[in-house]
A and B are shown apart, each in its own frame.
Chain A
Amino acid sequence: MTAYLLRRLLYSAPILLGVNLITFSLFFIVNSPDDMAHKHLGDKRVTTEMVEKWKQDHGYDRPLIYADDRRGIARFSDTLFARHSLRLFLLDFGRADDGRDIGADIRQRMGPSLAIAIPHLLIGLLIYITVSLILTFFRATYIDFIGVFTAVALMSISAMFYIIAGQFLLGKLLHLTPISGYLGGLDGFRFLVTPVLVGLIAGLGSSVRWYRTLFLEEIEKDYIRSARARGLGESGVLFRHLLRNALIPILTGVVVIIPTLFMGSLITESFFSIPGLGSYTIDAIQAQDFAIVRAMVFLGALLYIGGLILTDLSYVLVDPRVRLE
């Protein structure tokens, strides 16, 4: 088990390096630091000295990958790649264009993202599983047919529609909740209601359809038939046998996204002006602050790989048949 974990961790190193190479080539080779300098300084009346000065101030005045004029290890360490991409491995995110510390920003903005994402995940699991179990109970009837059709229709609606409609209905028409905003602590509860509710409804269609497929795949298996043969009622079959076994794929599907919950949701946070990591990213994209985008890409990849490893571990926990060698 430990050996397996170690191997997985080692295997993730080349993947993270690959991620870094991709972002590096996107941000430094497609756009040379000169292009960046021009963009920030504006197009008119920019002298070469100004560009050089900007590059020096922001630490971009170095060769890309290989420094010819340095000696020894500095040939590789005193380059843009080492200074801007590799140090992400040490979770040193550097500074944004406006000089703020990205690492501190990320730590501070994680909370609001989680305040939306965790209730969404937990309540969502409960609702989605219940609804899809009900549909499974009524399988091959009109209730199931209508349910599946509704699910397909719900998942065909743009996520932005749910957000706009939710804000309008709850916030403007019924005056139940604030339209947008965020407040820490218990007082902030009312700010979370609409985003979480909207997220739940937006995810309903695809999740219910997915869970229903899982349940239907499980219901064809032999142990279900033998449970019925022993005279077990339909609800007993569904809850005691089907649900428990279907929880294995459901749980592992959930575990993989748990780490990425930190990243928040881009459009939800932006529409509801929640100061989380999602809106942080979107602001950075719109302001073309590449340092932040680079940091968020790396963080996202790191969390995703963490999620994959957690998934493997959770298999061992919930399914006694699986052993990690």
Chain B
Amino acid sequence: MISGQLALLISDYLIWSLTLIGGATLILGLRNRLQRERWRMILSRPPAMTAFILLLVYLLIALLDSTHFRPLEITQTADPATSPKQFGTTEISLLDLLLNRIRLTDERSYSAPLALHGYSKEQLVTATGNRRDYPRLKYGGAHITDPANRNRDLLTRGSRGFGIALLILLPVFLLYRLIVRASRLSENNPRIAWTAAFATLAGLVIIGAVGDQLAGPYHLLGTDKVGQDVLYLGLKSIRTGMLIGVLTLLVMLPFALILGTAAGYFGGRIDDAVQYLYTTLSSIPGVLLIAAAVLSVNLYLDQNLTEVASLQQRADLRLLLLTAILGLTGWIGLCRLLRAESLKLRELDYVTAARAFGVADVRILIRHLLPNLGHLVLITVVIDFSGLVLAEAVLSYVGVGVDPSMISWGNMINSARLELAREPLVWWSLATAFALMFTLVLCANLFADAVRDALDPRLRGRQ
């Protein structure tokens, strides 16, 4: 049993509480029949179901990676009983712990996926004298004595992983058959896409089990310039991407909601002020505004904040500031939408009636307007999320993204993009970063599409 001391970063607290609040709202919402119907409509589409499950997996990985603690380090002294319990100085996360097999196996430099040897020739000292050859990797395939056996070893391990996956999937399959049979009997329409759910789950389990068998003894996706396992880097980047997406939304939502509905509902001076504010902000080119803000904040941090504890906390602070900046510059689109919709809603009979009854404005806003804006918010939020994940890579390239010491897709791409000029080609870091990013963004986009079709009343019955 590994014990440690919980040491959550600020962003950890934020993402955990957000997930808990979001999850609770969702579950409480399901008690409402209308909400249930809407979710049923969304999840009845196979692409949306697949996207939903994959998004949950990304969220799970991000949450695991957001549970930081300081592991217990036992310092050996003469008397074990008095040896002090010492907590390490660096925080690691639960995901780090799970990935220990690929976290602590750094090679010297590049190596191709599943390779036994390094990427470039080195001077090797052997019994027969010095020669230049590709060095054997320290960890990748270290258990293999004769390199010719590699493919057979890969095949054995791969099929073992596949077998384990099948064993796991057997009960899942039986459960799936039961659910399908039950859903045929019920009169709920449309039916939830259980087949898509099972297929996605099966794919995930197979990839997971085979990957689990291969990733330990080999570097499944190779290693990067400083010898770190690319699979590890890719998985660690998930947290950064999700955090940027989710926390930015947290910052921008209050602005968009309050300013948008107030401008639309009250009109007059308030409307003028809000419109002036967002026209001014949106007239500055987006990346430039973000860059200007990040540059200023970073310079300020460098000059005035020298005593921050650890490198990790410093990177965390920069990430939080980045999301704050992205949020402060990103609320305009949603605000415009909400303003236009509130303008329309305030003229409707039930709002006029509420006003005639003397209901207070704030109460009308909360009870009558907000519930009718929910679909706009949800759709925009999911679309903005995917845009933010993509933006992280661009911002890191421009040099105003997350801290360079933080593992992120943007930093991976940035440090790997010149590797395509090498001979032979080093493609694996780029491919991993792009593939993981693409999956997340595609899922968000597909899910957003389904949400839009299910929730936007104007689209009802069009397809």
What's the Cα separation between A301 and B462 when bound, in Å?
Answer: 39
A170 to chain B, nearest CB (A): 13
Residues A18 and B288 in contact, CB atoms below 8 Å apart: no
From B23-31, B202-210, B291-299, B366-374, the one touching the partner chain is B291-299
Within 8 A of B (CB), among A140-179: 140, 149, 152-153, 155-161, 164, 167-168, 172
Q: Is A305 an interface residue (CB 8 A)?
A: yes
What's the Cα separation between A193 and B54 when bound, in Å?
Answer: 38
Give the top 6 A-B pairs by smallest Cβ distance, nearest first. Answer: A18-B280, A156-B442, A300-B285, A156-B441, A301-B283, A304-B283
Q: Is B326 an interface residue (CB 8 A)?
A: no
Residues A290 and B393 in contact, CB atoms below 8 Å apart: no
Residues A35 and B276 in contact, CB atoms below 8 Å apart: no
Residue in contact with B413 in the complex, picked from A23, A26, A160, A260, CB distance below 8 Å:
A160
Q: Is A273 an interface residue (CB 8 A)?
A: no
**A260-277 interface mask toward B, CB cutoff 8 Å, 1 = contact, 0 = none?**
100100110010000000
Given contacts A22-B281, A293-B288, A301-B284, 9 further A-B contacts (CB under 8 A): A35-B299, A149-B47, A160-B393, A167-B420, A168-B420, A267-B394, A285-B291, A294-B292, A300-B283
Residue in contact with B420 in the complex, picked from A23, A164, A305, CB distance below 8 Å:
A164
A80 to chain B, nearest CB (A): 15
Q: Is A296 an interface residue (CB 8 A)?
A: yes
Chain B residues whose C-beta falls within 8 Å of the C-beta of A30 in the assembled complex: 296-297, 299-300
Chain A residues near B (Cβ < 8 Å): 14-16, 18-19, 22-23, 26-27, 30-31, 35-36, 38-39, 140, 149, 152-153, 155-161, 164, 167-168, 172, 216, 260, 263, 266-267, 270, 281-282, 285-286, 288, 290, 293-294, 296-297, 300-301, 304-305
Q: Is B303 an interface residue (CB 8 A)?
A: yes
A155 to chain B, nearest CB (A): 7
What's the Cα separation between A38 and B299 when bound, in Å?
Answer: 10
Residue in contact with B437 in the complex, picked from A158, A172, A266, CB distance below 8 Å:
A158
B281 to chain A, nearest CB (A): 8
Given A164-B430, A267-B397, also A22-B285 (CB < 8 A)? no
Closest B-chain residue to A220, C-beta based?
B462
Q: Is B93 an interface residue (CB 8 A)?
A: no
Q: Is B438 an interface residue (CB 8 A)?
A: yes
Residues A297 and B292 in contact, CB atoms below 8 Å apart: yes
The SS class assigned to the A binding surface is helix
What's the Cα separation between A152 and B284 when bound, in Å?
Answer: 28
Chain B residues whose C-beta falls within 8 Å of the C-beta of A288 in the assembled complex: 295, 299
The SS class assigned to the B binding surface is helix
Chain B residues whose C-beta falls within 8 Å of the C-beta of A300 in the assembled complex: 283-285, 288
Q: Is B75 an interface residue (CB 8 A)?
A: no
Within 8 A of A (CB), among B259-288: 276-277, 279-285, 287-288
Residues A27 and B296 in contact, CB atoms below 8 Å apart: yes
Chain A residues whose C-beta falls within 8 Å of the C-beta of B400 in the assembled complex: 285
Chain B residues whose C-beta falls within 8 Å of the C-beta of A260 in the assembled complex: 285
What's the Cα separation between A172 and B427 when bound, in Å?
Answer: 14
Residues A285 and B438 in contact, CB atoms below 8 Å apart: no
A selection of 11 A-B contacts at a CB cut-off of 8 Å is A19-B283, A26-B296, A36-B299, A156-B445, A159-B390, A159-B394, A160-B394, A216-B462, A260-B285, A285-B295, A296-B285
Residues A297 and B285 in contact, CB atoms below 8 Å apart: yes
Chain A residues whose C-beta falls within 8 Å of the C-beta of B153 in the assembled complex: none
What's the Cα separation between A288 and B280 when bound, in Å?
Answer: 24
Residue in contact with A263 in the complex, picked from B285, B398, B399, CB distance below 8 Å:
B285
Given A30-B300, A297-B289, A300-B288, also A155-B445 (CB < 8 A)? yes
What's the Cα separation between A281 and B449 when bound, in Å?
Answer: 35
What's the Cα separation between A167 and B421 when bound, in Å?
Answer: 10
Chain A residues whose C-beta falls within 8 Å of the C-beta of B393 in the assembled complex: 158, 160
A199 to chain B, nearest CB (A): 14
Q: Is B463 an interface residue (CB 8 A)?
A: yes
Q: Is B417 an interface residue (CB 8 A)?
A: yes
Chain A residues whose C-beta falls within 8 Å of the C-beta of B463 in the assembled complex: 140
Q: Is B53 an interface residue (CB 8 A)?
A: no
Chain B residues whose C-beta falls within 8 Å of the C-beta of A39 in the assembled complex: 299, 302-303
